[in-house]
Chain A
């Protein structure tokens, strides 16, 4: 049987992406934002498709099918349904969406064909449409290695569905129950995100990071939680929700919430973007995080009841909430859990391709297929390409004779408190930098969190940094085994924690942030958790060797691993992007493959108009 060549596409909402599979193998997958350098890019993924084709050495006419990750007809039906539910007060929503759908979105099929013609005019590619939540479910289940599993998808909204419980068996996926628009767990979280002054569809992870600054069981948190559960959302025993539409306006307006109703109910003003964060903001963040944790757990228990499976796969934007994921993991409802690294809409591109392969084309599935490689399926660069970039920008660099020499030099610099840009092999697929497009630093350095947030990432000071630890040493520092792909959080081991003073909860946010909480202060969040990555020798050998080498020098094989970008910028894709981050931040060295660039020898880069760019804050 000939292996099918299928490209999955997601676009026209947010997080455009393309993924190419050939038979059982994920050949290439990348988000469009990494090429266009516009965060959460929503336009057609021209660059990502061209990259997928180039990676496989194929032309567009060689592809058996292009699969769009959702069904525009169903989506249009949902819009029409919304018109019916909001009339007559939803007149402005009707005028706005009717025009948009009649002129643009209803013609997605035609639009995609037109865009594909721009890539290559010849041929008439086969175009298929999946379903939004089926794409999510497929992205998680078909990459899990499980023969059978419960599948839980939760996000803002797909076509009609906002969450679904599925059962996966071999090549089949069966939808058992779904939660339908306008009741949505993702939109509830996004509503609080907006009320706290962060951007919807991109700032949710900041709310998750802010939540631990809330004072657990304090009057503030109890009030917010009680109010949310009594008036804003009703959570049923099976984890489904009913949102009180008096507090929301996404149903019929331009804004996600009715600001006046929220301000009156929560007795506080909406926080303006970039304004000061107060304790009440942290308490509200903690309240919604705790509610989200409980909802996800209830949904998982319901999925267990319905499927009887001991495995679970998670996907959808809410599966990016690694705190809820670890809450579920600690509850031990399931024996095994798999979470797709790109569980948001970008991952829908890969999911759509896999769903078409196994469900539409009914190709046999071998669950034992190792999909581990899909995590690093973005572009990689050769030595001549890297040198060419250096030449273009007159970069002075050194090349080490061997990889071992590179690990030693880099580990020595890290142990000396230096901040290193680490650019290796193929780019990661998904929201996390897993050691191929990373900024690395010493996790034991007390000043490093502040230094990185202010001088390197140029972002909010409260945001924590994730560590990377060698898998075999992980349990010396963390209380549960960390994820290889940073999909859940772990606790710092009790013996590594420092005592917290009794009056700690009354301290200011800055004081809490600067307090040394463990022997690994730079990666210990205020609640003693960390979104750790357990790197393995087989998963990412170069990073594993570097962390090992650093461990020999420092006594602890734990480094900060944060994405190579500044605030508002997509993660670096090319060596030139990496030079751009290097030029505009306080990084000391940039390591691209076995080339080392020293900032002190390349100060001219910091004033380069080509490399230093500004990005809209996220």
Chain B
């Protein structure tokens, strides 16, 4: 029974929150791909690691 309830809530969360938000994100990714085709797979960072990067 607890598994069933957990699955039910996960499904609810998926279809009410994840799917609408995902469609929104996917649309904007598609737009950005159409207007700005990639010439490299890299993401440019130039990020120097500091002690902040070691969260505890």
Contacts and interface: CB of A to CB of B under 8 A. Distances in A.
A359 B54 contact: yes
A355 B56 CA distance: 14
Interface string B9-29: 011001100110111011001
B17 to A, nearest CB: 10
A318 to B, nearest CB: 15
Contacts of B22: 83-88
Nearest to B29: A85
Contact of A84 (B7, B26, B44, B48): B26
A180 interface: yes
Nearest to B41: A240
Interface residues of B, number: 32
B42 interface: yes
Interface in B18-50: 18-19, 21-23, 25-26, 29, 38-50
A359 B39 CA distance: 33
Interface residues of A, number: 44
Contacts of B55: 71, 73, 128-129
B51 A359 contact: yes
Interface in A164-184: 165, 172-180, 183
A129 B56 contact: yes
Given A94-B14, A126-B56, A240-B41, A355 B49 contact: yes
A238 B40 contact: yes
A137 to B, nearest CB: 9
B10 A94 contact: yes
B49 A172 contact: yes
B6 interface: yes
A98 B10 contact: yes
Contact of B6 (A86, A99, A130): A99
A95 B49 contact: no
Which of B23, B54, B55 is the most central at the interface, judged by chain A CB atoms within 10 Å of its CB? B54
Nearest to A80: B18
Contacts of A85: 22, 25-26, 29
A237 B38 CA distance: 12
Given A173-B49, A176-B46, A356-B54, A83 B18 contact: yes
Nearest to B23: A87
A128 B43 contact: no
Nearest to A240: B41
Contact of B53 (A95, A131, A241): A131
Interface string A112-150: 000000000000001111110010000000000000000
Top-8 shortest CB links A-B: A240-B41, A87-B22, A360-B54, A177-B42, A84-B22, A174-B48, A128-B54, A360-B51
